[in-house]
Structure 1
Amino acid sequence: MNRILPTLAVVLVVLFVLSMSFFTVDQRQYAVVFQFSEARRVIKEPGFQFKVPLLQDVRFFDKRIQTIDENVPARVQTIEKMNVKVDSYIKYQIVDVERYYKAVGLDERKAVDRLRNTVNNMLRDEFGKRTVQDVISGKRDEVMDYVRKVADSDAARIGVQVVDVRVKRVELEDSTLVSVYERMQSERKAVASKLRAEGSAEEDRIKADAERQRAVILADAYNIAQQQKGEGDAKAAAIYAEAYGRNPEFYAFYKSLDAYKQSFNKKSDVLVVDPSADFFKYMKNPKGNSK
C-alpha cells in the first residue's frame, strides 16, 4: 500500500505534465508558441502540437475573415461642401500571423483601429473629390474598390489582408437635405420652364404649319374652282351659241322671257322704260316683229 501511493502520485504528475505539453490547433486558427513572452514558433497547420510545459505558452489567432462594422457613421464632405454620413464595414483576414503579432501584439483593437482610421481617411479624401450624386449612386463602386486597394496595401504592413470595403448607407445631414431639396426644386423649375418654352415653340410651329397648309389648300381649291367655273362658262357659252345658231328668233324670245321673269320677280318691283323700247317687243307682238 505504501508503494502504490507514490506510484500513483508519479503517474498523476506525469499525466499532468503531458496534458500541459500537448495542445490542439484548430483549422480556423493560427497558434504562436511563446517562451518568456517571446514568440518562438508559429503554427499554421491544424493538428496536435507539443510545447515545453511551464516554460512555454500558446496563444491563438483567428484565421477566418472578420468584420469591422462601424457603430457610428463617419462624417465626410463632398466636393460641393455638403456633409454626409457614411456607414461602412470592413472585412479583413490575418494572413501573416508573425508580422501581425510584431505589429499589434495581442491587442486586436490596435489592428481594428488602424484599419478603421485608414478606411475613414480614404473615404474622406475620395468623397471630397466627388459630388453627392456620385457618392450616393453614380461612382460608389469605383470609390470603394480604390479604397479597398489602398487599405489593403497599408494593412499588409501588419500582416492583414483587406478582403472587402463596402458602404452600407449614405445619409444626408439635415442641413444638406434642405440644400439638396432646394437645388432639386430649382433644377425642376428650370426643366419645367424649358419644357414649357419648347412646348410653346412647338405649338407656334404647328399653328404656322397648319395655317400654311390651310392657305395652300384654299389657294389650290380656288384655282380648281376658277378653272372649273371657266370651263363651265365656256361650255355654257358654247351651248348658248349653238342654241342661237339653230333658232335665233326662239333664242331671243326665251332670253326675253327670262328677262321679264327677273324684272317682275316681286309685286313691289317698278320698272320705268320707254314703251316703244325693244324690251317690250315680245309683249306687243309674240312674234317679235316691230310695227
Structure 2
Amino acid sequence: MSRWLPVLLVALTLAVASLFCVVILDEREQGFRTLLNEPEPSVFGISLNQANLVEPGWYLRVPFLHEFYRYERRNLHFHSTPHSLNTVDRTLVDVDYYVIWRIANPQRFFESNRSEAAALQRIDELSYSEVREAVNKHTLRDLLSERRDEVQREIVAGAAASLEPLGVVVVDVRIGGAIYPTANLDRVYERMRTERRRYAMRFRAEGEQQARGIRSQAEGESQVILAGAERESLRLRGEGDAEAARIYADTYGSDPEFYAFVRSLEAYRKSLDRETTLVLSRGSSFLKYLFDPRPPTSPKP
C-alpha cells in the first residue's frame, strides 16, 4: 500500500491541478485568453498563445500565466427604453426598439468593452443614434406602414457598421412601437379632426361639382330630347292637318251639303261649352243644324 501512495498523491495532485489548468467550452460558449496579459505574445515570430477561442473543446489555462474570459456564442437581445424622437414632419413620437446581436470576435470585444454590461451601454448608444437618424428622415406613416421594413433595414445597416469595431455582429434591429406621447394626444386628436374635416369639405365640394355637371348634362340632353319631340309633334300635326284638309276638300267636292254639316258640328264642339253664352237670332245660319237636325242627304251617284 505504501508503494502506491506516492502514485495516488501524484494522480490526485494532477486531478486537482487539471481543475485549474483546463477550461471546457461547450457549444453555447466562446472565450478569450491572454498570456502574461498579452493576447498573442510571440518569440522569434512564433505565437505563444491563441487568444480567440471560438470552438467548443478543452483549452489549457496555466495559473498565474493565463487569464480566461467566457462569452456567449448565442444571439443576445437588448430592448431599449422609449425615446421621444421627431419624425421628418416634426411629429413627436415615443419609439422603443430591440437589438439582436452576437459576439463575433472575443478579443476585439474584450479590448473594446471588457464586460457585457459596458458592451450593452455602447450598443444602446450606437443603436439609438441609428434609430434616431432613421426616424428623423421618415414620417410616422412610414414607421406604421409597409415601409417600416425599409426603415429597419436602414437601421440594421447603420448599426452593423457602427458596432463591427466592437467585435459585435448585429443580427437585427426592430422598432417595437411608435406612439404619440401622452401629453400630446389632445393636440394630435384635434389635428386629426381638423384634417378629417378638411378632407370632408374637399370631398363634398368635389361631389357638388360633379352633381352640377351631371344636372347640366341631363338638362342639356332633356332639351335636345324635348326639341326633337316638339319637331316630331309639329311634323305629325302638320301631316294630320294636311290629311284632314285633303279629306275635307274631297268631301266638299263630292258632297258640299255634308261638308257644311260636318264643319258646323266642329264649330259647335269648339265654341259651345258650359262657360260659353251665345246670343244669336233663330235665323242665324250658325244655328241651322241645331233647329233642323236632319242630316243632309247625299246626292245619288
Q: TM class by shorter-chain length?
A: 0.7 to 0.9
Q: Which runs of 5+ in 2 are unaligned?
A: 40-48
Who is 2:95 aligned against?
Answer: 86
Task: State TM-score, norm by structure 2.
Answer: 0.80
Question: What residue identity is the alignment partner of 1:96?
Answer: N
State the distance in 1 between where 2:70 and 2:235 align: 110
Who is 2:176 aligned against?
Answer: 168
CA 1:34 to 1:238, structure 2 compared with 1: closer, same or farther past 3 Å?
Answer: same
Q: CA deviation at 1:119?
A: 1.0
CA 1:34 to 1:228, structure 2 compared with 1: closer, same or farther past 3 Å?
Answer: same
Who is 2:237 aligned against?
Answer: 229
Instruction: Assess if the C-alpha contact under 8 Å between 1:29 and 1:61 holds in 2.
Output: yes
Q: CA deviation at 1:247?
A: 2.3
Question: What residue identity is the alignment partner of 2:195?
Answer: E
Instruction: Assess if the C-alpha contact under 8 Å between 1:263 and 1:271 holds in 2.
Output: no
Q: Which runs of 5+ in 1 are unaligned?
A: none
Structure 2 counterpart SS, 1:41: coil
Who is 2:45 aligned against?
Answer: none
Structure 2 counterpart SS, 1:130: coil
Instruction: Assess if the C-alpha contact under 8 Å between 1:115 and 1:155 holds in 2.
Output: yes
State the distance in 1 between where 2:197 and 2:85 align: 29
Question: What residue identity is the alignment partner of 1:232?
Answer: G
- Within-5 A mapping of 1:233-252: 233-252=241-260
Who is 2:29 aligned against?
Answer: 29
Question: What residue identity is the alignment partner of 2:196?
Answer: R
CA 1:270 to 1:161, structure 2 compared with 1: closer, same or farther past 3 Å?
Answer: closer
The size of the alignment, in residue pairs, is 283
Question: What residue identity is the alignment partner of 1:32?
Answer: F
Who is 2:9 aligned against?
Answer: 9
Q: CA deviation at 1:65?
A: 1.4
Q: CA deviation at 1:166?
A: 0.9
Question: What per-residue deviation string (whole Å, max 9, x for no partner) do you get for residues 46-95 of structure 1?
Answer: 2223333554343221122111122x212212234332111101111111
Query: Structure 1 residue 189 and structure 2 residue 197: aligned?
Result: yes
Question: What residue identity is the alignment partner of 1:130?
Answer: H
Question: What residue identity is the alignment partner of 1:76?
Answer: L
Q: Which of 63, 85, 100 in structure 1 is aligned with 2:73?
A: 63
Q: CA deviation at 1:32?
A: 2.6
After the TM superposition, which of the residue ranges 209-218 and 191-200 deviates more from structure 2?
Answer: 209-218
After the TM superposition, which of the residue ranges 160-169 and 207-216 deviates more from structure 2?
Answer: 207-216
State the distance in 2 between where 1:257 and 1:153 align: 112
CA 1:252 to 1:171, structure 2 compared with 1: closer, same or farther past 3 Å?
Answer: closer
Query: Structure 1 residue 44 and structure 2 residue 54: aligned?
Result: yes
Question: Over aligned residue pairs, what C-alpha RMSD do you find?
Answer: 3.1
State the distance in 2 between where 1:27 and 1:204 align: 77
Instruction: Assess if the C-alpha contact under 8 Å between 1:67 and 1:92 holds in 2.
Output: yes
Task: State TM-score, norm by structure 1.
Answer: 0.83
Q: CA deviation at 1:139?
A: 3.7
